[in-house]
Amino acid sequence: MSARPTPKPFAGQPRLFDYDALSAHGMHVEGPDEGLRFVAGFEVRFTRKRGVRTLRIRVVPPDGHVEATLPWHVRFADMEDFIRSKASWIEEQQRALQGSPQVLAELAGEDEKKMWRQVVAATVPVLVERYAPLMGVQVGKLAYRNMKSRWGSCQPSTGRICINTRLALYPPECLEYVVVHELAHLLEPGHGPRFKAIMDTFLPDWRHARDLLKA
Ligand SMILES: [Zn+2]
């Protein structure tokens, strides 16, 4: 009897199955397409997807649960091993989420949301009055909205500026940055070198505020 070498799984990677080969032979892969499991004390919401090539996990605000996206060929046991191997990374991500403005914004009640709006609506006109004459721009209507995906927007045709009320949760230089950013769009629609030069002229420290908002 000849000894056959044991196939080695990729280091740090879940063992792979060729789902398409299995299904071509009429075999099916275990488990549902999506669901919830608890692994090493973490709540894991998983989805199996075709077209996904590698197992991916992320820690999702505001509650810090783990979202796992599985290719069809990855077994649950391998997903669980992978999550266990990433436990300290997951905990680190969860700690970072606690108390972050992003999470506070998600958990906020109606009263808090009203308060952000008041703060932002009281501050933005003052900033516009300061910067618009310096930059030589005409500002139209000012609007305030609680938005998930953008800090502000600007309609160059009307001069209408819309500012995210969640900026109330960030240091004041962030609100100033977003206002100057939108005013700069009245001079330059893109984010290219000309835009950056305008920002450098009127708010030299703008990159610092931008980075605070990215964090
Ligand atoms: Zn922009």
C-beta pairs of 85-90 under 8 Å, 24+ apart in sequence: 85/12, 86/57, 87/40, 87/42, 90/42, 90/57, 90/59, 90/66
Let me know how long the chain is.
215
Residue 164 Cα to ligand 1 midpoint, Å, equals 13
Asked whether the whole model's pTM tops 0.85, one would answer no
Domain residue limits, the chain: 19-98, 108-214
Q: Report the distance separating Cα 165 and Cα 118, nearest Å.
A: 8
Distance CA 68, CA 175 (A): 34
pLDDT digits (tens, 9 = 90+) for 100-140: 888 888 888 999 999 999 999 999 999 999 999 999 999 99
* pLDDT score at 82: 95
Contacts of 44 (CB under 8 A, 6+ apart): 36, 37, 38, 57, 65, 66, 67, 68, 79, 83
Q: What CATH number is given for 108-214 in this structure?
A: 3.30.2010.10
CA of 112 to the centre of ligand 1 (A): 27
Q: For residue 151, how far is its CA from the centre of ligand 1 (angstroms)? A: 9
pLDDT attached to residue 8: 41
Across all residues in the chain, what is the average pLDDT? Answer: 86
CB 73 within 8 A of CB 30: no
Q: What is the pLDDT of residue 111?
A: 92
Per DSSP, 74 falls in state B
Helix or strand run (H / E) with residue 137: none
Residue 151 confidence (pLDDT) above 80: yes
- Rounded to the nearest angstrom, the distance between the alpha carbon of 70 and the centre of ligand 1 is 35
DSSP 49: E
Measure 148 CA to ligand 1 centroid, in angstroms. Answer: 16
